[in-house]
Structure 1
Amino acid sequence: MDTVHVIGAGLAGSEAAYTAARLGVRVRLYEMRPQRLTPAHRTGAFAELVCSNSLGGEGETNAKGLLQAELRAAGSLVLRAADRHRVPAGGALAVEREAFSQEITQGLSSHPQVEVVRQELTELPSEGVVVLATGPLTSEALAQHLQGLLGQEWLGFYDAAAPVVLGESINLEVAYRAGRYGQSADYLNCPLNEEEYRRFYEVLSQARRHTPHDWEKLEFFEGCMPIEELARRGYDTPRFGPMKPVGLPDPRTGREPYAVVQLRAEDRRGQMWSLVGFQTGLKWGDQKLVVQSIPGLERAEIVRYGVMHRNTYLCAPRLIAPSLRFREHPRLLVCGVLCGVEGYLESAATGLLAGLNAARLLQGKPPVVPPEESMLGGLVRYLASANPENFQPMNANWGLVPAEAGRGRKAERRARLFQRGLWRFAEWWAETLGLTPA
């Protein structure tokens, strides 16, 4: 067990390989491109950006801004290349794609601790520590191998997700807590009268749909039908489906509303709530209009938009610990989209942690997890503890970290969360590497 094997050289795999190598261990980085391209990739370059050139919004009030700052504090390969090749993009960190990928490719290809192997793996290496970073388009052969190893039911190929809103943005003077027919009151319920439902239906019917890539070949199943498709089938179809009010009387009136939208907690602290049965492929701006047309959600802050697309990912809560190590397979770690995160930045961040822990395992040290106040720490804890029955990939957002008790405007509160999270992460990183905190 003298080598860390990293499978996949996207942003997650590249960051994992670099992190492990800089900690002094030998790394073998496998990448099947360009010998075999995915339907989305066009080159053999590492960390190729295929859907966007943005790594998310910046600044002390932005959750992705905190994750960027944490990666910079850790000396991230991806953030260093991004800062060097950034292009103007308002308040976002965007990069010149080709130069960004070339720098990462050259840096890893010339690294003395990294051996690059250009081949497709159809099964996991039998020795050493392995980091899975094969992304949303994992090859069919390797996916079948993983299904056999981990259990077929824990590997999904189709991401059908509903919007998730920040709990503090829900109007609890309108939404009420209740379970259907008096069962466990685990849901928040947003009631609609007949006129409110009519307005909601009009907004939903006029909303624009995301156009999938040709290679995604989306097929809808009755069990995960998009809310907009239900509306297309008829005016009352949503009201007799996910918006059914039967068994959910409003305690303030004692009567069942005309329709109801239920929200289910996405985390143990109840800081994030998803709209039950509202999986959707609508454009993000239109999703916001639809969500905010629902009584009680007029000022809802969406922390994760609904998606309908091809996406290979694991049911992380069933399989992994917050360290990104598999519970039942101690020499195997996972990062990137495959472990259940959304976004380039989140992929790189989980790659950093997986690479760190892969090196530690090879050196006979226990794996570590960033503090919960950090964005990376909050993200990986969510992956390991989310509701496995309804698990969907997650991106960086303020609902992942503990709220602060202090008062003040939202921007002020989030700036304090940013400073707290960055300080705790930097302190943890320095201690983990045996350095003196700055």
Structure 2
Amino acid sequence: MTQELHIVGGGMAGSEAAWQAAQMGVTVVIHEMRPHVGTFAHQTGHLAEMVCSNSFRSDDDEQNAVGQLHWEMRAANGLIMAMADKHRLPAGGALAVDRDLFAQGVTETLRALPNLRVETGEITTLPTEGHWIIATGPLTSSALGAAIQAETGAERLAFFDAIAPIVYADTIDMNVAWMQSRYDKGETEAERKAYLNCPMNRDQYEAFIDALLAADKTEFHEGETAGYFDGCLPIEVMAERGRETLRHGPMKPVGLTNAHKPDEKAWAVVQLRRDNALGTLYNIVGFQTKMKYGAQTDVFRMIPGLENASFARLGGIHRNTFLNAPTLLDDQMRLKSRPNIRFAGQVTGVEGYVESAAMGLLAGRLAAAQMLGTPLSTAPANTAMGALVHHITGGAEAKTFQPMNVNFGLFQPVDGLKGGRRGRKDRYKAYTDRAKADWRDWLAAQS
């Protein structure tokens, strides 16, 4: 009987895991509950649907840890990065994509593979036999979440995650707004004008903060505590930390010059990033929110240039569940109590589309290699992928474990380079040079 690798969840991690395993010759079954069972955030039945943002963040593979992760995934023939590159949009130094074309591309590519099939339906229990990868992400269904909790014996961990609204481009007043990337960053004209900017003077900013703080918010159920991942805070939570917080965060005005009034310095600026290839939709950058829908339209139309805005999608908040990976997973990403099951993606305690896909890439390769009788060591610790997986499977403090983006703080120090701001650029370059060399060696050992 042919062995099959079963992958639960067709998001970023599940899709990448399936692609990697199938490329190694393993027969793969993706179990995706959508569209049979929907979620708060998803709108289609496509695999790898992006719901929070359309950005993969920085693409700089010399001075940025997530850019190095991009490089490693490309070097490993990653499907997620290939589709991101194919459907990328101008975004300065960041990698942003047309989310619909991206998801369609991933779905069509995977469904075309002869040794892969997609089965629609919800998996509600943890399997006792066979080879499995659980990649259900932050919106793991209640039934499967309960099964995981029962197996691990641990209190279910969660934080609240929020998504930002999307505006129809033709409802933005371009007599007020202008196109410019911060500090005119980018090699092409399109990249230097990748963001749409809406300026505020001081009085407008103060009125906006007042309205934001007073707006009706989503209430939490009894017994829930509002723990947030700092990289995706709702704007009203940031505003509650101080009236100037937003002006030094997503609304900072630095590096921008108002094309309509070049001599007038904005007190704050709201940026929007193109959300599709047609340029008909724009995502309000950093404006994740837990405001109720009616309040959102009132508050966001206070932004100059958005007074008559129509919204393709309003923001929202949802529960995001993840494992206490340092205590539950081994360095092969297997559940210690049931080693026939691996976990991948955000449910392992990584944060971000790229990190989720990277953990899927690694889990897919590790599972396929084991099934083929040629087990692999996990990713080298000095690579971006290795630094991340080593952190979540043992490097992090279990008692205080929270979702983590890839960052250079997870990398082992480079011999001969001292810390400190002065040597940071050289240090980051040394990290990425070493990571590239180790990643090439790891991939070569598999060929």
TM over 0.5: yes
TM-score of the superposition, structure 2-length normalised?
0.66
- For residues 333 and 210 of structure 1, the distance between their equivalents in structure 2, rounded to whole angstroms, comes to 42
- For residues 402 and 215 of structure 2, the distance between their equivalents in structure 1, rounded to whole angstroms, comes to 19
Matched letter for residue 406 of structure 1: L
SS of the residue aligned with 2:7? strand
Q: What displacement does 1:369 show?
A: 1.0
- For residues 78 and 102 of structure 2, the distance between their equivalents in structure 1, rounded to whole angstroms, comes to 13
Q: What displacement does 1:125 show?
A: 3.6
Counterpart position of 2:409 = 399
Q: What displacement does 1:351 show?
A: 0.1
Q: What displacement does 1:78 show?
A: 0.2
Counterpart position of 1:261 = none
Counterpart position of 1:381 = 390
Q: Summarize the alignment of residues 353-364 of structure 1 with structure 2, pairs less than 5 Å apart.
A: 353-364=362-373
Q: Summarize the alignment of residues 318-357 of structure 1 with structure 2, pairs less than 5 Å apart.
A: 318-357=327-366
Counterpart position of 1:430 = 444
TM-score of the superposition, structure 1-length normalised?
0.67
Counterpart position of 2:200 = none
Counterpart position of 1:78 = 80
Shift of the 394–327 alpha-carbon distance from structure 1 to 2, 3 Å rule, reads same
- Say whether residues 1:54 and 2:55 are aligned partners: yes
Counterpart position of 2:238 = 282
Q: Summarize the alignment of residues 260-271 of structure 1 with structure 2, pairs less than 5 Å apart.
A: none
- For residues 23 and 224 of structure 2, the distance between their equivalents in structure 1, rounded to whole angstroms, comes to 49
Counterpart position of 2:204 = none
Counterpart position of 2:320 = 311
Q: What displacement does 1:360 show?
A: 1.7
Q: Which is worse superposed, 76-85 or 307-316?
A: 307-316
Matched letter for residue 417 of structure 2: G
Q: Structure 2 regions of 5+ residues with no counterpart?
A: 162-208, 231-235, 250-287, 290-316
Q: Structure 1 regions of 5+ residues with no counterpart?
A: 161-205, 227-273, 275-279, 291-305
- TM-superposition CA deviations, 1:187-217 (whole Å, max 9, x none): xxxxxxxxxxxxxxxxxxx899899998x75
Q: Alignment partner for residue 142 of structure 2, among 136, 140, 151?
A: 140
Counterpart position of 1:18 = 19
Matched letter for residue 398 of structure 1: F
Q: What displacement does 1:287 show?
A: 7.5
- For residues 52 and 352 of structure 1, the distance between their equivalents in structure 2, rounded to whole angstroms, comes to 21
Shift of the 218–92 alpha-carbon distance from structure 1 to 2, 3 Å rule, reads farther
Matched letter for residue 92 of structure 1: A
Shift of the 207–128 alpha-carbon distance from structure 1 to 2, 3 Å rule, reads farther
Kept in 2: contact 1:375–1:401 (CA 8 A)? yes
Kept in 1: contact 2:160–2:227 (CA 8 A)? no
- TM-superposition CA deviations, 1:383-437 (whole Å, max 9, x none): 0121111110101100011122325631222112111111111211121x22xxx
Counterpart position of 1:298 = none
Counterpart position of 1:239 = none
Q: What displacement does 1:110 show?
A: 1.1
Shift of the 133–212 alpha-carbon distance from structure 1 to 2, 3 Å rule, reads farther
Kept in 1: contact 2:159–2:320 (CA 8 A)? yes
- For residues 224 and 129 of structure 2, the distance between their equivalents in structure 1, rounded to whole angstroms, comes to 43
Number of residue pairs the alignment of both structures matches: 321
Shift of the 207–127 alpha-carbon distance from structure 1 to 2, 3 Å rule, reads farther
Q: What displacement does 1:223 show?
A: 7.5
- For residues 393 and 61 of structure 1, the distance between their equivalents in structure 2, rounded to whole angstroms, comes to 22
Kept in 2: contact 1:208–1:282 (CA 8 A)? no
Kept in 1: contact 2:40–2:318 (CA 8 A)? no
Matched letter for residue 426 of structure 2: E
Matched letter for residue 382 of structure 2: E
Kept in 2: contact 1:207–1:286 (CA 8 A)? no
Q: What displacement does 1:350 show?
A: 0.1
SS of the residue aligned with 1:141? helix
Q: Alignment partner for residue 370 of structure 1, among 371, 379, 382?
A: 379
Matched letter for residue 364 of structure 1: G
Matched letter for residue 425 of structure 2: A
- For residues 216 and 51 of structure 2, the distance between their equivalents in structure 1, rounded to whole angstroms, comes to 11
- For residues 325 and 211 of structure 1, the distance between their equivalents in structure 2, rounded to whole angstroms, comes to 46
Kept in 2: contact 1:26–1:114 (CA 8 A)? yes
Shift of the 15–222 alpha-carbon distance from structure 1 to 2, 3 Å rule, reads closer
- For residues 357 and 156 of structure 1, the distance between their equivalents in structure 2, rounded to whole angstroms, comes to 26
- For residues 333 and 207 of structure 1, the distance between their equivalents in structure 2, rounded to whole angstroms, comes to 47
Kept in 1: contact 2:15–2:106 (CA 8 A)? yes
Kept in 1: contact 2:4–2:26 (CA 8 A)? yes
Q: Alignment partner for residue 101 of structure 2, among 99, 111, 117?
A: 99
Matched letter for residue 417 of structure 1: Y
SS of the residue aligned with 2:83? helix
SS of the residue aligned with 1:142? helix
SS of the residue aligned with 1:282? helix
- TM-superposition CA deviations, 1:229-269 (whole Å, max 9, x none): xxxxxxxxxxxxxxxxxxxxxxxxxxxxxxxxxxxxxxxxx
Kept in 1: contact 2:384–2:406 (CA 8 A)? yes
SS of the residue aligned with 1:384? helix
Say what the alpha-carbon RMSD is for the aligned residues. 3.3
- TM-superposition CA deviations, 1:75-106 (whole Å, max 9, x none): 00000000111000111111111111111000
Q: Summarize the alignment of residues 59-208 of structure 1 with structure 2, pairs less than 5 Å apart.
A: 59=60, 60-153=62-155, 155-159=156-160
Shift of the 62–149 alpha-carbon distance from structure 1 to 2, 3 Å rule, reads same
Shift of the 92–361 alpha-carbon distance from structure 1 to 2, 3 Å rule, reads same
Q: What displacement does 1:25 show?
A: 0.8
Q: What displacement does 1:346 show?
A: 0.2
Shift of the 281–384 alpha-carbon distance from structure 1 to 2, 3 Å rule, reads farther
Counterpart position of 1:419 = 433
Q: Which is worse superposed, 399-408 or 86-95?
A: 399-408
SS of the residue aligned with 1:409? helix
Matched letter for residue 8 of structure 1: G
Name the % identity.
Answer: 39
Q: What displacement does 1:115 show?
A: 1.3
Shift of the 3–423 alpha-carbon distance from structure 1 to 2, 3 Å rule, reads same
Shift of the 99–223 alpha-carbon distance from structure 1 to 2, 3 Å rule, reads closer
Shift of the 17–207 alpha-carbon distance from structure 1 to 2, 3 Å rule, reads farther
